[in-house]
Amino acid sequence: MDLFDKFKPLAAAYADLTHGGRDPFGVAFDRILSPTVGMIGDREVILAGTNNYLGLTFEPEVIAAAQEGAARYGTGTTGSRIANGTYGPHRALEAEMAAHFGMAGAIVFTTGYQANLAAVAGLAGPGDQVFIDADCHASIYDACKLSGAEIIRFAHNDPKSLDRRLGRTDPNASNKLVIVEGLYSMFGDIAPIAEFVAVKNKHNAYLMVDEAHSFGTFGARGLGVSEADGVLDKVDFIVGTFSKSLAGIGGFAVSNHPQFNLLRLAARAYMFTASSSAASVEATRAALKLIQARPALKDKVWANARRLHKGLTDAGFALFAPASPVVAADMGDPAKAAVFWNALLSAGVYVNLAMPPGTPNSKSLLRCSVSAAHTPEQIDRVVASFIAVDRAIKANTLAAVG
């Protein structure tokens, strides 16, 4: 018996996936030319699956801030936040995030994944109940397991399902935490946050919303679906990431709860990992200022999202949700999805390939994420490439694509 024997089915599936084509989970970009164009070898590729929603990764102010952070504070902190890993920029970013959300407190984490681990496992523990949307991100599931709390799933984006499950619990119990996402990253569907707020209030529960993919793109100030639904002040905890609209690396949680800062003493994912480098933090601060100064970026994201969604819909592709910054096409089966993904890359278009078991309802899909930096011409080329590949597959003439 070998430790890796249990991975034999996984290895077989991976071999089938990569046979006769590129490894979709190991693509290496040899150079990034802009937020929307990369190089693989000597070939340019349109980047249509990067989550770079506002296109800020190459903004001169963001790059200069990262450089200045490294020059002033060094390349790393070499310690956790509760040891030597809290620098002035960490505190400044936390104050700026709290002010941006209009919340009393904010905590910055090293990654978005750790933000969920820390917030969920720090708030909930043995004897508590956590109610999670069935389609929540893996980091939320992992956080729930780490917490030791009872985990209760409810049907995706279904406030009535949550209502029924909460209705079976002790109405006087206070330790009930509901977790949903604003924009779901696989299908691009949007949660009815206002309805979830009504349900959690009815049952004396707390609500946490993960706005990782919706921060920067929803709401008047880009604060997420909670803001867009007019219930930001009624959500108990908001978590998110810096690795999407904020064009960096890291995570955050914000709240008005008077004891929110106790998480710094209770959340293991905060206490026992090295903190973000000053370069990352300063870049995030600069990106946040740009989001505040350029609200039109959000409009550009939505214009591109609607253009891509309409183009693929008109071409006959089955999409999972109405237009949003995430546009996902149903490929039907894993084999077709892999072939289609390879052909798109050959045609100079990079998108995300997503397959079971990492997808809701065991779907196989090609996932696009649009950016404010995409030009209309680039969006049209993505659509044209989808159409060309689809025709080539049906005609068995894939060699002609690209």
Q: What are phi and psi of 49, to 5 degrees?
A: -160, 45
Q: Assign domain 60-293 to its CATH architecture.
A: 3-Layer(aba) Sandwich (3.40)
Q: What pLDDT was estimated at residue 113?
A: 97
Distance CA(3)–CA(278), nearest Å, equals 39
Supply the mean pLDDT for the chain.
95
**Which positions are annotated as active-site residues?**
185, 213, 244
Which amino acid type is present at position 187?
F
Q: What does pTM read for this prediction? A: 0.95
Q: Which of 373, 372, 377, 332 is nearest to 355 (CA)?
A: 332
What token pair was written down for 394?
């049906």
Percent of the chain with pLDDT over 90: 89
| Cα 71 → chain centroid | 30
pLDDT at 400 exceeding the cut of 60? no
* pLDDT mean over 392-401: 77
Q: Do domains 5-57+295-400 and 60-293 have the same CATH topology?
A: no
Q: What pLDDT was estimated at residue 331?
A: 95
The DSSP output letter for 80 is: B
Tens of pLDDT along 95-153?
999 999 999 999 999 999 999 999 999 999 999 999 999 999 999 999 999 999 999 99
Q: What pLDDT was estimated at residue 120?
A: 97
* pLDDT mean over 169-180: 86
Distance CA(223)–CA(164), nearest Å, equals 29
Query: Is 114 in a helix, a strand, or coil?
Result: helix
377 in Cβ contact with 349 (< 8 Å):
no
pLDDT at 160 exceeding the cut of 90? yes
Query: Is 222 in a helix, a strand, or coil?
Result: coil
Distance CA(244)–CA(64), nearest Å, equals 19
Lowest-pLDDT choice from 44-53, 106-115, 329-338, 342-351 = 329-338
Distance CA(67)–CA(178), nearest Å, equals 40
Distance CA(402)–CA(131), nearest Å, equals 47
Q: What pLDDT was estimated at residue 180?
A: 98
Q: What pLDDT was estimated at residue 13?
A: 82
pLDDT band per the 50, 70, 90 thresholds, residue 194: very high
pLDDT at 402 exceeding the cut of 80? no
Question: Beta-strand (E) ranges in 231-331?
Answer: 237-241, 251-255, 326-330
What is 5-57+295-400's CATH number, 3.40.50.2300, 3.90.1150.10, 3.40.640.10, 3.40.50.1000? 3.90.1150.10
Query: Is 37 in a helix, a strand, or coil?
Result: strand
Percent of the chain with pLDDT over 70: 98
Distance CA(365)–CA(188), nearest Å, equals 12
Q: Which of 134, 200, 136 is nearest to 167 (CA)?
A: 200
Which residues make Cβ contacts (< 8 Å) with residue 199, sequence separation at least 6? Answer: 159, 162, 163, 166, 178, 205
Strands 237-241 and 251-255: antiparallel
Q: What pLDDT was estimated at residue 388?
A: 97
- The ranges assigned to domains in the chain are 5-57+295-400, 60-293
Q: What pLDDT was estimated at residue 106?
A: 98
Query: Is 234 in a helix, a strand, or coil?
Result: helix
Q: What pLDDT was estimated at residue 399?
A: 61
What token pair was written down for 9?
């089915």
Query: Is 223 in a helix, a strand, or coil?
Result: coil
For 377, other C-beta atoms within 10 Å of its C-beta total 9
Query: Is 384 in a helix, a strand, or coil?
Result: helix
* pLDDT mean over 172-187: 92
215 in Cβ contact with 244 (< 8 Å):
yes
Q: What pLDDT was estimated at residue 358?
A: 80
pLDDT band per the 50, 70, 90 thresholds, residue 87: very high
pLDDT at 390 exceeding the cut of 60? yes
pLDDT at 172 exceeding the cut of 80? no
pLDDT at 401 exceeding the cut of 70? no
385 in Cβ contact with 327 (< 8 Å):
no
* pLDDT mean over 273-285: 98
Q: What pLDDT was estimated at residue 207?
A: 98
pLDDT band per the 50, 70, 90 thresholds, residue 28: very high
